[in-house]
Chains A and B, each alone.
Chain A
């Protein structure tokens, strides 16, 4: 073995060990990073699961008492009625308006500045805090439009709040309809509106329904926008369809019991907490139902699409 060969094999060994060190270091960094990410993710998942379970468990004892569903101070019958009433009233205004806007954006409007402006407006509106939107609703609908603190003023405020979300969901649902269906209808001589009415909307319907369900979740959970526009109290004849009366919902009732109204009802402090726990559990359960049904519909659509 010549001197040169020995030298080169030594160099090779040095290089090899240096490479091994680097690989070792990288592997260690990688394992540490992965370990940290595992811990973070499991912590977050555990937090979420803990919160949902603890909310339902705390409310469980209230949920099984019949008085909870009555009309007394400790009952939530009026709030349940109001929540569904305001949900339906809002959807009746929200769905046609936002669906029409979505149809215009997807089907009629040319790509360009107009769509950008509308999308920027939607983005901005969805960033406005719901409390500020509630104040706007109070000023414009309750005071200037003389609707007073009423269900209608609340529904119109919720319309402003959910318009951007509904628009985005409906735009997505219309965009999911394949273009050749439209072209087929137009080629048969249908006008654009006829093509939309008879081909595009029926095809997009399941996705539109999912969108409606998702906005329903947001409407049920909203409180800050309603405390100034719909009030925190019920009149005595709450079970009517009159949209001009003030009323509370499950969420605003919960805020009132633990916030400004603590101690003003004919309840002890522990009864108040039990009622609030029951309200929280009902809200969480409603939300779970909404989420699960939206998923079920989504899966059904997938099945239909893949079967066809």
Chain B
């Protein structure tokens, strides 16, 4: 009698435990799905806001190829003008130039770091890279304001004729982006290089290759897709970088054509700096224009993420 009672009790307990297990697993599933919901929400809400500006008088051609950005109409005092071509060009030029500088430095350092660097250098660099991947972008922006801009002003004085605003602009933004993106690209490259198994290196050395041949002919080709991912993610980070760049760009319109080299050293714009400076102060049709800019940024980053996903799905070593 007592035995059946305790058996029943045990049975009840285990049934309750199973029920709890089921409930908990469903709750956890919901948390996992929340992540998908967030990214779908981001895409949906930004896309839904971004087409409104074209119902308010902007044209597609005018938006992407126009160069006068005045969605509130307060500069001319007349009709608003939605020419985002200059902003998009600013983002593209600063990002591409920064990455041209970053890629050789990041990959060179990463290869040296994993293949040839002495132990003491690794011990110094490892924490430095980790700290720098997390350094707040505004801090780098501030550093740009107090060190890079005066330097650029001096360097560009013969070209721009020593303007009081000289130094602000694309050149400074490019250098700030280099500092922001270099650690990220480097640390992803290092991870990719470390995933190459030792047998690849041993095989190359056994064939009598020098250390440079080992890097250039064996290790780098073996993780080319991994390094490609690192570069693409660097692009993603660079094009989305906002406040640091906003601090050193310091302009509100793209300079007028015709350009000389001086265009790199005068106050200029890109997408993120314009959004950061003006988004909150606008409403209605003017604000829709900023949503369209955000959508452009979002689409660019989605393309980059897809490329990096494609590359990493093709990589041999993970």
Cα A121 to Cα B45 in complex, Å, equals 16
A192 and B25 contacting across the interface, CB-CB below 8 Å: yes
Which chain B residues (220-276) contact chain A, with CB distance < 8 Å? Answer: 233, 236, 239-243, 246-247, 272, 275-276
Q: Does A100 contact B (CB under 8 A)?
A: yes
A291 → chain B closest CB, angstroms = 5
Contact with A along B170-205 (1 / 0, CB 8 A): 000000000100110010000000000000000000
The smallest C-beta distance from A99 to any residue of chain B, in angstroms, reads 8
> CA separation between A289 and B182, bound complex, in Å?
22
Instruction: From B31, B138, B147, name the one whose CB has the most chain A CB atoms within 10 angstroms.
Output: B138
The answer to whether A105 touches B32 (Cβ under 8 A) is yes
Within 8 A of A (CB), among B41-63: 41-42, 45-46, 49
Contact residues in A for B143 (Cβ distance below 8 Å): 51, 54-55, 280
B141 surroundings in chain A (CB, below 8 A): 255, 258
Choice from B104, B113, B127, B275 contacting A295 with Cβ under 8 Å:
B127
Chain B residues with Cβ below 8 Å from A33 are 212, 215-216
Chain A residues with a Cβ closer than 8 Å to the other chain, count: 88
Q: Which of A160, A218, A288 contacts B38 (CB 8 A)?
A: A160
Judge whether A139 and B38 touch: CB under 8 Å. no
Q: How far is the CB of B307 from chain A (nearest CB, A)?
A: 10
Would A140 and B31 count as touching, CB distance under 8 A?
no
Does B317 reach chain A (CB closer than 8 Å)? no
Give chain A nearest CB distance to B125 CB in angstroms: 6
- Specify which of A122, A133, A138, A217 is in contact with B42 (CB 8 Å cutoff): A133
Which residue on A lies nearest to B41, using beta carbons?
A140
CB pair B138–A125 under 8 Å, yes or no, is: no
Decide: B20 and A163 in contact? CB cutoff 8 A.
no
CB distance from B94 to the nearest CB of A (A): 14
Interface size class of B (residues with CB under 8 A): 35 or more
Do the beta carbons of B17 and A41 come within 8 Å of each other?
no
In the complex, chain A residues whose CB is within 8 Å of the CB of B36: 117-118, 121
Binds A, one of B1-9, B71-79, B159-167, B293-301: B293-301
B→A interface (CB under 8 Å): 17-18, 20-21, 24-25, 27-29, 31-32, 34-36, 38-39, 41-42, 45-46, 49, 104-105, 108-109, 111-113, 116-117, 121, 124-125, 127-132, 134-143, 145-147, 179, 182-183, 186, 210-213, 215-216, 233, 236, 239-243, 246-247, 272, 275-277, 279-280, 290-291, 294, 297-298, 301-302, 304-305, 308-309
7 residue pairs A–B, Cβ–Cβ below 8 Å = A40-B108, A41-B109, A54-B143, A129-B241, A192-B21, A223-B136, A254-B138
Contacts A127-B305, A131-B297, A227-B243 aside, 20 further interface pairs with beta carbons under 8 A come to A33-B215, A45-B125, A48-B128, A100-B27, A101-B35, A121-B38, A121-B39, A127-B301, A129-B241, A131-B276, A138-B280, A163-B35, A191-B20, A192-B21, A193-B21, A193-B25, A220-B136, A223-B137, A280-B142, A283-B139
* Contacts from A to B (Cβ < 8 Å): 26-27, 29-30, 33-34, 36-38, 40-41, 43-45, 47-49, 51-52, 54-55, 58, 97-98, 100-101, 103-105, 108-109, 117-118, 120-125, 127-133, 135-136, 138-140, 160, 163-164, 167, 191-194, 214, 217-218, 220-224, 227-228, 251-252, 254-255, 258-260, 273, 276-277, 279-280, 283-284, 287-288, 290-291, 295
